[in-house]
Chains A and B, each alone.
Chain A
Amino acid sequence: MTTMTIAKAINEGLRATLRSNPRSLLMGEDIGPLGGVYRVTDGLIAEFGADRVVDTPLAESGIIGTAIGLALRGYLPICEIQFDGFVFPGFNQITTQLAKMHSRSNGNLTVPVVIRIPYGGGIGSIEHHSESPEALFAHTAGLRIVTPSNPHDAYWMIQQAVDCQDPVIVFEPKRRYWLKGEVDTESAGLAADPFKAHVLREGTDATVVVYGPLVPVALAAANAAAEDGHSVEVIDLRSISPIDFDAVTESVTKTGRLIVAHEAPTFGGIGGEIAARISERAFHSLEAPVIRVGGFHMPYPVAKVEEDYLPDIDRILEALDRALSY
């Protein structure tokens, strides 16, 4: 076991991948000598050289598009998109090309491209640097989406994403990059399957489903609820596509109440999808409507008011109160 931050864990995961697979390579803006704007690729160009840690021209469509070409030639490109709000110039390549290549080739071609995207708010940043666009990608068949909430998952998920033969987007919770935790670099253990949800805390009265940056928030809310005598189960979804509906169903069957929280706006979001599926799967177990906690239907607000936008402990507790009131 080694203690490290999420950023360092991803760095070490990338290093392990680059060492073990000579056809893997990193591509992105400022990922070379600078080590990325968040230093996630720090030191990697020194070990692996500029052919495998590629500082690209400043062009997201070009990054994703050339990664697709490299994958068609048998390479394993791992692309860094600098910020969530800057993925959109590459959106066309991701949704019309990357996601569909295997299908439209009748299974003849595979494009195992990995795209890393730091996402989410809470860092007091300027426009386009705090967004959570995961639902836009989850809606696209052919893509897989995972998001780590702790260093151990981060270390293994990035490697599992590279090993996966499908394209995988890794949404990295940027405000948790400096969150420390223990990493077992010898064994993934419970993190062996990146597409399975984890029950982080067991409870009997309600289930709170979260992922990425809101995991510590939900755990804190569960602690606060416990002081009021409410037993809250917390699930870290880990994978946004596919979603581990079996794990959520099992939990709701036990607790009867479900709250889904994410930073992204609730309308058309992951929470709505979970609510719909769970109402179909566990209707007779539900004691209350599924309640969503998330961003509002507005462009991500300016930094000075983002605290009013982002789900926090109180917003989750308020949702819990509503769920328990039925």
Chain B
Amino acid sequence: MGATHLPSTEFDGTEMDDRLEAEAEAQLGAPATPMVQLLGPDGTLGTDPVFSEYADRLDAEKLRGFYADMAAIRRFDQEATALQRQGQLALWVPLTGQEAAQIGSGRASQPQDYIFPTYREHGVALTRNVDLAELLRQFRGVSNGGWNPKETNFHLYTLVLAAQTPHAVGYAMGIQRDQKLAAAAAAAAGRADGHAGGQAPEPKAAVVVYFGDGASSEGDVHESMVFASSYNAPVVFFCQNNHWAISVPSSVQTRIPLSNRAKGYGFPGIRVDGNDVIAVHAVTEWALEHAREGNGPVLIEAFTYRVGAHTTADDPTKYRASAEESRWRAKDPLERLEKYLRAADMADDAFFAQVKADGDELAAYVRKTTYELETPDIRTAFANTYVEAHPLVAEELAWFEEYSAGFADEADTVEADTEGTR
């Protein structure tokens, strides 16, 4: 439905962009940050003095891979939304519209980099080889995490907004110290090539932390940028400006383009078309190289749009116009890459048919695995509260065991009764 009586927060993304940039220009006395775009909504590839070089590194296979990733995560998103509607998940957080921002940035990272997501980065999770079924554990209520970050260098989702940003900076400060310790060890071993012993040196690493336009207002983002700047930490702040923090438009969070804030901290800020996977990949690759080489932090603002609801519990018709959603759907990240791939003869009908088939296969796998996700025993919660033995936890667990044992005679009956309702 099209809302007809909307509050003054209604706006067009482009109009807001223009207005904010005009304000910024007036305040700064200089042109506001332009937006990097390489692949336009019509599927034609433009140029950029800095980032075209990075786009040129992408061959047809990589571009087809981007498309396949974006299609896969969109199909996954649809399936997860359906699973929630069918009562199989407590909640779902859709990402539709933000595929290019997530796949483009995720594919720019290297295995040695460490990623701190917020809670909507399903596309980034895909690029880090997180089993997407594992991703649903949190939303089915069987885990607060679901995957082991040490296996993928993709941290757990963080639900307290922006709380992960200082973690990312601290992690990056650890990377800096690792490099110094390695250099010291190499010096002690009398080697000039920067590594001790016979093995190859560790590849240089950086950190990417994701947050949104809403979280940008949190104090933790500010403190994190101050710390990152003070210590020149190798961290890329990746802000997906999807224009809506649940029901509040980004104009309430900021009067200037968010990327401009980086100037205040003393490091580069880049606004990129978040629906342009090629530009996002190029900009993120540049930023990560910049950070890994010891040049300090970068803020990337991916200008995109949350086409769907904030979560499956949200109702966007109460706060924004469907016309606005339609305008953004016209900038769809998948459609523009498909146009380009077809026009450049990089992909044909068979490819797109295969992508669709793969997506359906992924959806079937995710659905099947969701049904099979095991409910944990609360004893694991007792076990994981502390690393080391804790007398209160032990005492309460002993009580729980004794209490539970009191129901032992009934256990078989209860099991039989509930069997049919699962």
Binding site for B on A (CB under 8 A): 22, 25, 51, 56-57, 59, 61-62, 64-75, 77, 89, 92-93, 96-97, 100, 102-110, 112, 141-142, 144, 164-166, 195, 241-246
By the criterion CB–CB under 8 Å, are B171 and A102 in contact?
no
By the criterion CB–CB under 8 Å, are A69 and B172 in contact?
yes
By the criterion CB–CB under 8 Å, are A73 and B174 in contact?
yes
Q: A65-B163, A96-B163 are in contact. Are A106 and B384 (CB under 8 A)?
A: yes
Taking A75-B174, A102-B385 as given, write out 16 further A-B residue pairs in contact, using a Cβ cutoff of 8 Å, ordered by the A residue number.
A57-B227, A62-B224, A66-B170, A69-B167, A71-B170, A92-B163, A96-B163, A97-B160, A105-B145, A106-B380, A107-B387, A109-B156, A144-B386, A241-B392, A243-B392, A246-B391
Listed by A's residue number, 19 A-B pairs whose Cβ atoms lie within 8 Å are A62-B169, A65-B166, A67-B170, A68-B170, A69-B167, A69-B170, A72-B171, A75-B174, A93-B163, A93-B220, A96-B163, A97-B158, A97-B163, A104-B144, A106-B144, A106-B148, A106-B384, A110-B387, A242-B391
Residues of A within 8 A of B114 (CB): 73
By the criterion CB–CB under 8 Å, are B385 and A103 in contact?
yes
Residues of A within 8 A of B34 (CB): none
**Using a Cβ cutoff of 8 Å, how many contacts connect chains A and B?**
145
Quick check: which of B73-81, B177-185, B320-328, B400-408 contacts chain A, the rest being far away?
B177-185
Select B387's contact among A25, A65, A73, A102, beta carbons within 8 Å.
Answer: A102
By the criterion CB–CB under 8 Å, are A66 and B169 in contact?
yes
By the criterion CB–CB under 8 Å, are B166 and A108 in contact?
no
Q: A93-B163, A105-B145, A106-B380 are in contact. Are A69 and B385 (CB under 8 A)?
A: no
B230 at the interface (CB under 8 A from A): yes
CB distance from A72 to the nearest CB of B (A): 6
B143 at the interface (CB under 8 A from A): yes
How many angstroms between the C-alpha atoms of A79 and B220 in the bound complex?
17
Q: A165-B387, A242-B391 are in contact. Are A66 and B149 (CB under 8 A)?
A: no
How many angstroms between the C-alpha atoms of A100 and B144 in the bound complex?
10
B150 at the interface (CB under 8 A from A): yes
By the criterion CB–CB under 8 Å, are A105 and B156 in contact?
yes
Q: A96-B163, A109-B149, A245-B391 are in contact. Are A59 and B171 (CB under 8 A)?
A: no
B residues 225-250 with Cβ under 8 Å of A?
226-227, 230
Residues of A within 8 A of B149 (CB): 105, 108-109
CB distance from B73 to the nearest CB of A (A): 24
B282 at the interface (CB under 8 A from A): no
Among A66, A105, A164, residue most surrounded by chain B Cβ atoms (within 10 Å): A66
How many angstroms between the C-alpha atoms of A191 and B139 in the bound complex?
45
Select A57's contact among B174, B226, B380, beta carbons within 8 Å.
Answer: B226
Residues of B within 8 A of A102 (CB): 384-387
How many angstroms between the C-alpha atoms of A142 and B388 in the bound complex?
10
By the criterion CB–CB under 8 Å, are A108 and B165 in contact?
no
By the criterion CB–CB under 8 Å, are A51 and B170 in contact?
no
B191 at the interface (CB under 8 A from A): no
Residues of A within 8 A of B171 (CB): 69-70, 72-73
Q: Mark B154-166, 1 if CB is under 8 A from A, else 0.
A: 0110101001011
Residues of B within 8 A of A105 (CB): 145, 148-149, 156, 384
Residues of A within 8 A of B175 (CB): 73
How many angstroms between the C-alpha atoms of A72 and B156 in the bound complex?
12
Residues of A within 8 A of B158 (CB): 97
How many angstroms between the C-alpha atoms of A92 and B381 in the bound complex?
21
By the criterion CB–CB under 8 Å, are A166 and B170 in contact?
no
How many angstroms between the C-alpha atoms of A103 and B393 in the bound complex?
13
How many angstroms between the C-alpha atoms of A161 and B249 in the bound complex?
45
CB distance from B395 to the nearest CB of A (A): 8
Beta-carbon nearest neighbor of A109 in chain B:
B149
